[in-house]
Amino acid sequence: MSENEQSQRITESGGLRVLHVDPAGPPIVSAEETSDLIGNAWVDNADVIALPVSRLDAEFFRLASGQAGAILQKVANYQLKLAIIGDIGAHLAASGALRDFVWESNRGEHIWFVDEASELEQRLEQRKAVLDAALAAQAARTAGAAG
């Protein structure tokens, strides 16, 4: 086990296992590094990867570089969720396209940008509450139709 793998930790929020990647370490820039990250998530049965901004190369935030697309697509292909945690205000100020991308991502279910880990926990708990309410409503409809 590498030193980097030893410093990762697992938590649970909203019924999902979250792999928190250590903020110290080399940037995730290549397909191989993304594969290692996904492999770590799979080994730990994680549903969500919480990746600190400090682990991303600046090119990630320049959408034309293709780095973000490649990393995010790989994570999505493995049916994982990715939360990028940290302040990206300077990157957002420099790019309207990135602002739009972050806004759209945060509306979805797979890629989120949050300032702090506590925001991720809150998002996951809210997501679980919505899913639980939908399941309860469906069960009530099913019971009503059967009775």
pLDDT tens for each residue of 58-103: 999 999 999 999 999 999 999 999 999 999 999 999 999 999 999 9
pLDDT tens for each residue of 113-133: 999 999 999 999 998 888 889
Mean pLDDT computed over every residue of the chain: 91
Q: Which structure tokens are listed for 133?
A: 């309410």
Concatenate the DSSP letters of all residues of 45-109 into one string: T-SEEEEEGGGB-GGGGSGGGSHHHHHHHHHHHTT-EEEEES--HHHHHH-HHHHHHHHHHHHSS
Residue 110: what pLDDT?
92
* pLDDT band at 134; cut points 50, 70, 90: confident
pLDDT at 4 over 50: no
The total number of residues written for the chain in this structure: 147
Q: Which structure tokens are listed for 15?
A: 């019924």
